[in-house]
């Protein structure tokens, strides 16, 4: 055996003991002694691409981001042969093979903490080709198997849980299209020829618990059949029916933050193609209901394809049903009628005290009664104050014509003058008034309508300067006095 051959074998034995590399090279240099020119590796100050072995080569060449370096064989400036990467403690993290600068051959990766194998992959001419397997770094169990051809998935793709027992994905790839099921992560999907097909599920996270948040059904990539949305408490908040991608019906149930049922409505599509995200493309159909925080039914409406059949609002005082008023349908700009109030809406405090009564006529306020101030209440028990027309700017009642919203009483003492005092009517009873007598002196002889017009002009003048200005009761008194 020649001296050159023995020297080569000795050098190879030393290298194999530490790095398990093969081959024999005439030169071994550090990566800091190299430079890259047009994709080829050169030794500093050299004119020809480098051939030999490079130490401390960047780990990113194998997709690693650990702290450590690689030793790679180079031929004519390109990786060619084996590559081994280790951390700073000398633990093997990965090995692979290159041919003329492209990955070609077997690749293996190892966990830095346990030392267990976590990946086996195969490459050909720079693309994955063959079986790729991943393993749990803790127990070594196989958790993924994917078959590749020329860099594309082709054939079986299967995944298991961390114990390697339960199959959580079973797909078959053909011509870039997948069929089968994939339950990895929070989106569980089933496919047929690359399209969603069959039952699908999404999971949400509340605290440290996962729950089913969506259940859908597909046919050949289109939503078909029942679809449901579910909150963290298990309440179905939306239930829809599709026919080959087209929405037909939807039921919506709304719950408060603390889980109380507060609204239910059924809706239907009245045209062939609707935008499922546009509420105006659907019309109410069937029963619609609202509940308060105590579980009392406060609104109930019956619909027929967007047209109101009936609507009843119920006012509760504690657990006692105190009164009701109705709703009327009015045509809107779309296929869904809006609902306005009709009848007597009675407002109560949290203590159950009657504060105001609003009489609605097809969504328009016809009369407003308010509770008297404490001193007047003692003088006139059983009475309420009827607001005059020109005193609407000092009205302590915020009137809301929309049927699904409550009007509110915003504060006592806001109005100090009333058109007249009337007996408190029973629920549904008409308000009995007497011929109007002005509560303001009429020494000037001006008529009520003249005074109202005069007051209105002064109010308009204030609003002309500041449209947001609040007309207080004392201002109205001043206006009225100036109009006598």
pLDDT tens digit string along 300-316? 999 999 999 999 999 99
Same domain for 442 and 427, yes or no, is no
The enclosing H or E element of 477 equals helix 473-482
CA angle at residue 103 from 101 to 108, to 5 degrees? 140
Residue 446 domain-assigned (yes or no): yes
Q: What pLDDT, on a 0 to 100 scale, did the predictor assign at position 484?
A: 64
Boundaries of domain holding 335: 320-437
Same domain for 327 and 422, yes or no, is yes
Same domain for 326 and 425, yes or no, is yes
Same domain for 327 and 414, yes or no, is yes
Residue 221 domain-assigned (yes or no): no
Give the contacts of 166 (CB within 8 A, at least 6 positions apart). 160
Is residue 445 over pLDDT 50? no
For residue 140, give both structure tokens.
């070594």
Residue 423 domain-assigned (yes or no): yes
Q: What pLDDT, on a 0 to 100 scale, did the predictor assign at position 23?
A: 47
The lowest-confidence range among 97-111, 169-183, 275-289, 401-415 is 401-415
Same domain for 420 and 343, yes or no, is yes
Same domain for 429 and 447, yes or no, is no
Q: What pTM value is reported for the model? A: 0.75
Rounded to the nearest integer, the mean pLDDT of the chain is 87
Same domain for 392 and 459, yes or no, is no
Using the 3D structure, point to which of 175, 193, 225 is the last residue of a domain: 175
Burial class (CB in 10 A: 0-12, 13-18, 19+), 275: exposed
Beta bridge partners of residue 83, listed in sequence order: 72, 96
Q: What pLDDT, on a 0 to 100 scale, did the predictor assign at position 279?
A: 76
Q: What pLDDT, on a 0 to 100 scale, did the predictor assign at position 449?
A: 53
Residue 241 domain-assigned (yes or no): no
Same domain for 427 and 466, yes or no, is no
Helix, strand or coil for residue 13?
helix
Same domain for 444 and 425, yes or no, is no
Domains held by the chain: number = 3
User: Read out DSSP for 371-401?
Assistant: PPPHHHHHHSTTEEEEPPGGGGGG-SEE---
Is residue 474 over pLDDT 80? no
Residue 70 domain-assigned (yes or no): no
Q: What pLDDT, on a 0 to 100 scale, did the predictor assign at position 292?
A: 96
Average pLDDT over every residue of 52-68: 89
Residue 26 domain-assigned (yes or no): no
For residue 281, give both structure tokens.
């493309």
Residue 149 domain-assigned (yes or no): yes
CA angle at residue 134 from 128 to 135, to 5 degrees? 160
Same domain for 405 and 446, yes or no, is no
Is residue 460 over pLDDT 80? no
Strands 28-30 and 52-57: parallel
The enclosing H or E element of 26 equals none
The enclosing H or E element of 7 equals helix 3-19
Same domain for 377 and 420, yes or no, is yes
Same domain for 433 and 443, yes or no, is no
Residue 426 domain-assigned (yes or no): yes
Give the contacts of 248 (CB within 8 A, at least 6 positions apart). 240, 241, 242, 268, 269
Burial class (CB in 10 A: 0-12, 13-18, 19+), 40: middle
Q: What pLDDT, on a 0 to 100 scale, did the predictor assign at position 72?
A: 96
Is residue 428 over pLDDT 80? yes
């Amino acid at each position: 055996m020649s001296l050159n051959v023995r020297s080569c074998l000795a050098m190879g034995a030393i290298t194999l003991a530490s790095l398990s590399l093969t081959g024999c090279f005439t030169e071994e240099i550090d990566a800091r002694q190299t430079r890259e020119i047009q994709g080829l590796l050169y030794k500093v100050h050299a004119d020809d691409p480098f051939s030999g072995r490079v130490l401390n080569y960047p780990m990113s060449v194998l997709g690693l981001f650990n702290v450590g370096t690689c030793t790679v064989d180079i031929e004519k400036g390109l990786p060619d042969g084996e590559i081994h990467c280790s951390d700073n403690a000398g633990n093997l993290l990965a090995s692979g093979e290159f041919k003329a600068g492209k990955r070609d051959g077997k690749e293996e990766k190892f966990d830095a903490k346990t030392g267990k194998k976590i990946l086996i992959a195969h490459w050909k001419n720079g693309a994955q080709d063959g079986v790729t397997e991943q393993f749990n770094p803790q127990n070594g169990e196989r958790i993924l198997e994917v078959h590749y051809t020329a860099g594309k998935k082709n054939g079986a793709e299967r995944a298991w849980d961390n114990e390697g027992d339960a199959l959580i994905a079973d797909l078959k790839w053909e011509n870039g299209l997948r069929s089968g099921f994939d339950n990895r992560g929070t989106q569980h999907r089933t496919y047929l020829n690359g399209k969603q097909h069959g039952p699908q599920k999404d999971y949400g996270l509340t605290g440290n618990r996962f729950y089913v948040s969506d259940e859908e059904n597909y046919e050949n990539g289109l939503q078909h059949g029942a679809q449901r949305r579910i909150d963290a408490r298990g309440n179905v908040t939306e239930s829809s029916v599709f026919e080959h991608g087209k929405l037909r019906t939807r039921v919506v149930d709304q719950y408060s933050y603390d889980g109380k049922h507060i609204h239910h409505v059924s809706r239907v599509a009245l045209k062939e193609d609707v935008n499922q995200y546009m509420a105006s493309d659907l019309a109410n159909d069937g029963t619609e209901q609202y509940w308060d925080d105590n579980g009392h039914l406060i609104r109930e409406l019956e619909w027929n394809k967007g047209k109101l059949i009936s609507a009843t609002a119920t006012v509760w005082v504690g657990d006692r049903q105190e009164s009701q008023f109705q709703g009327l349908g009015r045509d809107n700009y779309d296929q869904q009628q809006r609902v306005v109030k009709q009848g007597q809406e009675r407002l109560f405090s949290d203590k159950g005290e009657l504060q105001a009564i609003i009489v609605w006529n097809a969504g328009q306020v016809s009369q407003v009664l308010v509770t008297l101030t404490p001193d007047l209440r003692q003088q006139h028990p059983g009475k309420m104050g009827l607001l005059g027309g020109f005193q609407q700017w000092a009205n302590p009642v915020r009137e809301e014509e929309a049927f699904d919203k409550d009007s509110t009483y915003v504060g006592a003492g806001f109005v100090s003058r009333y058109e007249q005092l009337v007996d408190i009517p029973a629920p549904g009873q008409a308000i009995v008034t007497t011929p109007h007598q002005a509560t303001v002196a009429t020494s000037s002889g001006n008529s009520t309508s003249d005074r109202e017009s005069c007051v209105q002009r002064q109010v308009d003048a204030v609003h002309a300067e500041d449209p947001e200005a609040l007309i207080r009761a004392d201002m109205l008194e001043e206006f009225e006095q100036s109009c006598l």
